[in-house]
Amino acid sequence: MNTPVLYIVIPCYNEQEVLPVTSGMFLEKINSLIAKGRVAPESRVVFVNDGSKDNTWNIIQELANSDEHFEGVCLSRNRGHQNALLGGLMTVKDRCDITISIDCDGQDDINAMDAMVDAYWDGCEVVYGVRSKRDTDTFFKRFTAEGFYKLMNWMGAQVVFNHADYRLMSSRVLNEFANFKEVNIFLRGMVPLVGFKSTSVYYERAERIAGESHYPLKKMLALAFDGITSLSVKPIRLITGFGALISVISFVGVIWAVVEAILGSTVAGWASTTSIVCFMGGIQLLCLGVIGEYIGKIYLETKQRPRYIIEKCTWNRENSQK
Ligand code: UDP
Ligand code: MG
């Protein structure tokens, strides 16, 4: 096997405090992998600027000018972590043999990259970085994350437990992945669908080097809900089952009410009637909401809008600056 060209792809959104620190770590890692002959000298570290409002793109350009191993891709506006990552991967897939995606905040242990590249040499096309411990996360984050993985798998979406978006993918896998045309993307749930030989490497997740997480509770819940509804139709089936159950219970209730009326033992019954009406109203609204979520997704998918737009790259490409 030829020595593979590795591109490390790193989405960045408002990371001016973090980049100057972590960029050095990424450079060291790629240089050491090159020195050991595990990856080719043409390997690169590519930062994807996801429409940052701070100095991030300027820093990326300075890095690209300072060392040939740094490159940058700039999206035309903020499109969110998943789209930025996909944009980066699709832009570099024809320039390399393997990619490793990682966040730029230093939370994922870059030393796991050695084991990822080893696994590629052993024939794996996808290597998932899996957190072995979540000590640095709050109890709440651990609890919600665990619930989320369990729920996802129960809903029928294959998600690797404790794996986020730190993973190696070969360009062959990326070429197949390019055929996944959906607009709502949840990469960690979609990559396992591509297939090919895969494995996991384990690492400990650290604290963010600087700056703040872009995933507060509200966004985390939105991501979880998005992940479930883009990968599974089980919620709709559950609603159907639940609706059927409620209907049976209501049917029994109606018969009971009729019998009571015939026997002439009718009571005012105001409280029970009101509570049933309220309960049913609530359930119906909930069900409508879930169905509406799917209809909204269908609406967005039918438009087939681009998931990201590349404005410029630091290498020779149309509208490129470097
Ligand atoms: N990120 C991005 N676009 C966004 C939000 C985040 O490209 O709109 C990047 C961010 O710069 C980081 C990665 O996605 O490299 C993960 O974000 P973060 O560390 O805030 O998430 P957490 O680790 O807390 O889940
Ligand atoms: Mg982070």
165 and 35 both lie in a single domain: yes
Instruction: Report the domain count for the chain.
Output: 2
Do 274 and 161 share a structural domain? Answer: no
Q: How many Cβ atoms from other residues are within 10 Å of residue 42's Cβ?
A: 16
% of residues, the chain, pLDDT over 70:
94
> Are residue 255 and residue 196 in the same domain, yes or no?
no
CA of 103 to the centre of ligand 1 (A): 7
For residues 87 and 196, state if they share a domain: yes
User: From the CB of 107, is ligand 1 less than 6 Å away?
Assistant: yes
Q: Are residues 194 and 238 in the same domain?
A: no
Q: Which residues contact 99 (CB under 8 A, 6 or more apart)?
A: 6, 7, 8, 9, 89, 92, 93, 168, 169, 171, 174
Pairing status of strand 126-133 against strand 163-170: antiparallel
Assigned domain for 222 exists: no
**Tokens read off for 164:** 């986020």
The closest residue, in CA terms, to atom 1 on ligand 1 is 81
State residue 278's pLDDT score.
67
Q: Clarify whether residues 23 and 145 are in a common domain.
A: yes
Atom of ligand 1 nearest to the CA of 164: 25
The residue whose C-alpha atom lies closest to atom 22 belonging to ligand 1 is: 213
For 268-304, b/e burial (b = at least 16 CB within 10 A) is eeeeeeeeeeeeeeeeeeebeeeeeeeeebeeeeeee
Kindly state whether residues 211 and 72 are assigned to the same domain.
yes
14 lines ligand 1 (CB under 6 A): no
3-state secondary structure of 200: strand
CATH number at residue 188: 3.90.550.10
For residues 178 and 239, state if they share a domain: no
Residue 61 has pLDDT above 80, yes or no: yes
Distance (Å, whole) CA 180 – CA 264: 64
Note whether 274 and 163 are same-domain residues.
no
Instruction: Determine the average pLDDT of the residues in 58-68.
Output: 93
Atom 14 (ligand 1): residue with closest C-alpha? 81
78 lines ligand 1 (CB under 6 A): yes
Task: Write the ipTM.
Answer: 0.94
Nearest CA residue ID for atom 12, ligand 1: 103
Domain range for residue 185? 6-215+305-321
In a domain, 228, yes or no: no
Residue 169 within a domain: yes
In a domain, 226, yes or no: no
Q: Is residue 320 predicted with pLDDT exceeding 60? A: no
Same domain, 166 and 28: yes
Q: For residue range 142-164, what is the model confidence (pLDDT) as tens digits?
A: 787 788 888 878 877 778 888 88
In a domain, 224, yes or no: no
Report if residue 203 sits inside a domain: yes
Residue 150 shares a structural domain with residue 131: yes
> What pLDDT, on a 0 to 100 scale, did the predictor assign at position 126?
96
Q: What pLDDT does 322 receive?
A: 39
pLDDT grade for 266, boundaries at 50, 70 and 90: low
- 227-261, pLDDT tens digit by residue? 777 777 778 778 778 877 887 787 777 777 778 77
Percent of the chain with pLDDT over 90: 48
What does the mean pLDDT of the chain come to? Answer: 85
Instruction: Give 173-217 pLDDT, tens digit per residue.
Output: 999 999 998 888 888 888 998 989 999 999 887 777 777 777 777
CA distance 124 to 178: 19
Residue 173 resides in a domain: yes
Q: Categorize the per-residue pLDDT at 36 as very low, low, confident or very high, splitting at 50, 70 and 90.
A: very high
User: How does pLDDT run across 40-55, given as a tens digit for each residue?
Assistant: 999 999 999 999 999 9
Q: Residue 263: is its pLDDT beyond 60? A: yes
Residue 227 lies in a domain: no
For residues 207 and 241, state if they share a domain. no
What is the reported pLDDT for 134?
Answer: 67
User: The tokens 């790193």 sit on which residue?
Assistant: 10
What does 113-129 look like in DSSP terms, one character per residue?
Answer: HHHHHHHHHTT-SEEEE
Tally the residues of the chain.
Answer: 322
